[in-house]
Amino acid sequence: MNEHSNIEKLGGCSEIPVLKERGQREVFCGLTGIIWLHRKIQDAFFLVVGSRTCAHLLQSAAGVMIFAEPRFGTAILEEKDLAGMADAHEELDREVANLLERRPDIKQLFLVGSCPSEVIKLDLSNAAERLSKIYFPKVKVLNFSGSGIETTFTQGEDACLASLVPTLKETDEENLILVGSLPDIVEDQLVELIKKLGIKEIAVLPGRDRGTMPSISKKSKFILVQPFLTDTTDALEKRGASRINAPFPFGEEGTTLWLRSIKESYGISDDKFEIVTSAPRKRAKLGLEKLRTSLQGKTIFFFPDSQLEIPLARFLSRECGMKLIEVGSPYINRSLVDKDLELIEDMPVISEGQDVDLQLDRCRESNPDITVCGLGLANPLEAEGLTTKWAIELVFTPIHGYEQAQDLAELFVRPLKRKEALFI
Amino acid sequence: MKLSIWTYEGPPHVGAMRVATAMEKLHFVLHAPQGDTYADLLFTMIERGNKRPPVTYTTFQARDLGADTADLFKKACKEAVERFKPEALLVGASCTAELIQDDPGGLADALNLEIPVIPLELPSYQRKENFGTDETFYQIVKALACPQEKTEKFSVNILGPTALGFRHRDDVRELKTILDDLKIDLNIVAPLGAAPSNIKNLTKAHANIMLYPESSELACRWLKENFGMSYTEHTPIGINSTKDFIEELNQIRGVKDSFSDTSRLNFDWWSKSVDSNYFTGKRVFIFGDATHVATASRIAKEEMAFSIVGIGCYNREYARKIRSLAKDLSVDALISDDYLEVEKRIADLQPELILGSQMERHIGKRLGIPCAVISAPFHVQDHPARFSPQVGWEGANVIFDTWVHPLVMGLEEHLLGMFREDFEFNDTAGPSHLSNSKSKLNQEKDTKADNEIIWAPEATKELKKIPFFVRGKAKRNTEKFAFENGHSAITKDLLYEAKAHYAR
């Protein structure tokens, strides 16, 4: 199971060795993405076809249950479904009928595959097609897999967005599509900045409801706001849209480089770019300046979690002066994060995949000032004397763009400050 | 296939984890796909566990399927034993691994490990978390317990406390104090804090305390059948149940009487004091795991003089017990793990207080009904730093405080009633010690016009003067009264006629 010390070179222009490991992975499965996706897409319901474990994961993953009836649920497979005593498709149709009757506000239904549904080869794309015939146009029925055997944590969002791409309306208009779900406030900020640059047709995938999903053409350009969108990128390119490659918009530098890539792609003048970005850049720099002293020279170790690790490591090392020890990521798609990788100096250990016990050994050995890890590891590591930052908070908190640069640094300052402040 | 929004219980392998995590020097290798490791955070976050649960997951992925998942499992076993050096190894499969039928027990056996390997059969598509705890603990006891010489003095084991159990840690501490008072020696507590080597010595005790049947009934029965060890069936939660429990222990021990120091007990006087007068007949709905529901029902009825309007449990294994209790109480039993069904029942019954789990607390928030938590599943806030057992005398004190906390206190209730129209001091403010207990849902319901029966404006105004926590009930009763007596409009007088009709 452990192919540790298996160091491979990443191909291409940069010669960065990657430590690839296969062992116990302490990560979420893709179903977890539903926790934020169901809030982001306001007329969608996510119906997981899975087991009690899936249902239990969904209510446990966020640490607390969300008050109010959520727009997600699990159709729990039972013995009779597996033994072939019941036709699973008939059962699914019945549950969907009940659900849509109870929730007439639902306009998009995602059937979400899980480990058990994939192992028993329950064909959900077939089911989605069949159900679409019944409920379309009132309800659009799609499917994607959030299973742990196929996806890790944020790959669930990738799968979801990729499933939406073939359904986007075809036009021949030019537009710019921002891809990846962001908290509404951050999305609005970024869209406004881009508008100020003079680009009029801007759309966001995912749209907040079925009516605001972007349209697409061969002239469409798109730029990612999240680094984990490999399949979505492929699907968009397949429809003829072209990607603007950029570092991810974390921090002052990241956001500026991200916007600059758009500027260059559209041939916008330097003057205009300066006018639009100078004020927020200044604010972001000022905010970071205050926090930099707390982070300067501090060491950090990333356990794999969301694929945000490489862009965040770039931000923390370049903009906050932190020293990277190990940057672990569940999966590295070099073509999406190369712009961030190129900027990282003093290359740390970059690891892909995980053997959690070996990685814990390395972490303890290097004794970092901050360890970024999942909720299952945080308290045990704190109890051993290490200071930790919950990785999941980086997915649930507004951290992109100029106005959040300070908040992002603050997330790492807080555990350090707390450790200093406590006298017990 | 059944749609589930929230679940009361996790899958059975989570139950097995609760046993493994409670124990020492035991390791659990779980054949499971990537992602199932989420279960670790239940322990590290809700219980603030300071070490990782002793579980190694094989975390197989699609590319492993059909190729070498069995090898993966064997390798995980070997490495776990080398790294963690447990005294015994539990092996099992989660829901997905159950489908690929790798036979963890057989694979682990083939490794010829030097420690006992205990295979678990956890049917994920039929059973749930509580079954997982009971079955796992039973398998451990069956595999490891062996004949031992009895201790010289009468001694007992405390069986049932697990990780992630509702107040299990504190219950054990309180029970130890009571056993000290009773001068009964404690042999072993298990699973909580026990190592496999301790399990071997369970049979040194003369009897077992079955603290929570949900997690120890199978083990207690097996120890009785095979080693003649009697076990207690009363769960000592509440004053009267604790008394009965002590009496049961006396009988097992063959003594007539025993002394337990009740000087710590305040519940009885607190309940008799005049401020508690207003509890009389308060309408409560009780839902949770069967053991906590059964004991809470007795406390509610006998020790608080509440009026029970409904009870129920989510663990079907104990449906019979709850049904028969409901019959005694002349209420309907709700045996369900469907959150929406429980919500509907509560909305229909409009109790003044819910005693339930974290799920019912959500329901209570939505419906504007106060709720106290008496059972798992629970929130991180229900795992307090302070000593707060449910069991025994101190447990009774804690229960009194917990149940009373969400309610409006005696004289305050009257004051709220008197000054209901005061813009600051009104009933929407809720109890003075709680920041916010007003539900939007109830407001909506209050103002929604009913199609069949018309409320005269003066009657609507009067209805609003009724305290919010009984308003829903009053509205429904009045409408029912009006309907049954052929009135199509509700006047102020009719409201009071209905009130007199339904007076308790």
**Helix pair angle (A251-266, A309-318), 10° resolution:** 110
A253 and A318 in contact (C-beta within 8 Å)? yes
Helix (H, G, I), strand (E, B) or coil at B370: coil
Closest CA–CA distance from residue A234 to any residue of chain B (Å): 21
pLDDT, tens only, B126-137: 999 999 999 999
Report d(CA A277, CA B38) in Å as an integer. Answer: 41
A69/B52 touch (CB, cutoff 8 Å), yes or no: no
User: Are the C-beta atoms of B91 and B105 separated by less than 8 Å?
Assistant: yes
Whether residue B183 is predicted with pLDDT greater than 60 in this model: the reply is yes
- CB-nearest to A25 from B5, B34, B128 is B34
Please give the mean pLDDT across all residues of chain A: 93
To the nearest whole Å, the CA of A102 is away from the closest chain B CA by 12
- Tell me the pairing of strands A7-9 and B454-455: unpaired
Region B174-179: mean pLDDT is: 97
pLDDT for A385: 96
> What structural domains does chain A harbor?
7-26+273-421 (3.40.50.1980), 30-151 (3.40.50.1980), 155-244 (3.40.50.1980)
Let me know if A80 is exposed, middle or buried by CB neighbors in 10 A (0-12, 13-18, 19+). middle
pLDDT tens for A245-254 read 999 999 999 9
Q: Which of B275, B328, B348, B450 is catalytic?
A: B275
Amino acid A5: pLDDT: 42
Q: Name the β-bridge partners of A373.
A: A390
- What is the percentage of chain B residues whose pLDDT exceeds 70? 90
The tens digit of pLDDT for each residue in B451-488 reads 568 888 888 888 887 766 677 778 888 888 888 888 88
Q: Which of A2, A52, A88 is facing B11, going by the closest CB pair?
A: A52
Task: State the burial class of residue B213 (Cβ atoms within 10 Å of its Cβ: 0-12, 13-18, 19+).
Answer: buried
Task: Report yes or no: B365 at the A interface, CB cutoff 8 Å.
Answer: yes
The more confident residue out of B453 and A330 is A330
pLDDT score, position B34: 94
In this structure, are residues A108 and B151 in contact, taking their beta carbons and an 8 Å threshold?
Answer: no
Residues 55-114 of B with CB under 8 A from A: 56-62, 65, 72, 75-76, 79, 83, 94-96, 99-100
Residue B76 CA to its chain's centroid (Å): 34
Phi then psi for A22, rounded to 5 degrees?
-130, 115
Rg of chain A on CA atoms, in Å: 22
Q: How confident is the model at residue B424 (pLDDT cuts 50, 70, 90)?
A: low
Q: Which of B34, B37, B124 sits opposite A52 (nearest CB)?
A: B124
pLDDT at B278: 86
Residue to substitute from B38, B57, B79, interface A, most A β-carbons within 10 A: B38
Mean pLDDT to the nearest integer, B189-210: 98
Which of B35, B44, B83 is closest, CB to CB, to A357?
Answer: B83
Average pLDDT, chain B: 91
Domains of chain B (ranges, CATH numbers): 12-128 (3.40.50.1980), 155-253 (3.40.50.1980), 267-407 (3.40.50.1980), 439-501 (1.10.8.550)
| Secondary structure (3-state) at B387 | coil
Q: Which of B418, B388, B415, B416 is nearest to B400 (CA)?
A: B388
- What is the pLDDT at residue B465? 75
Interface test with A, best of B30, B43, B59, B383 (most A CBs within 10 A): B59
Residue B410: which pLDDT band, with cuts at 50, 70 and 90? low
**What digits encode the pLDDT tens for the residues B256-277?**
888 888 999 999 999 999 989 8
Can B275 be counted among the known catalytic residues? Answer: yes
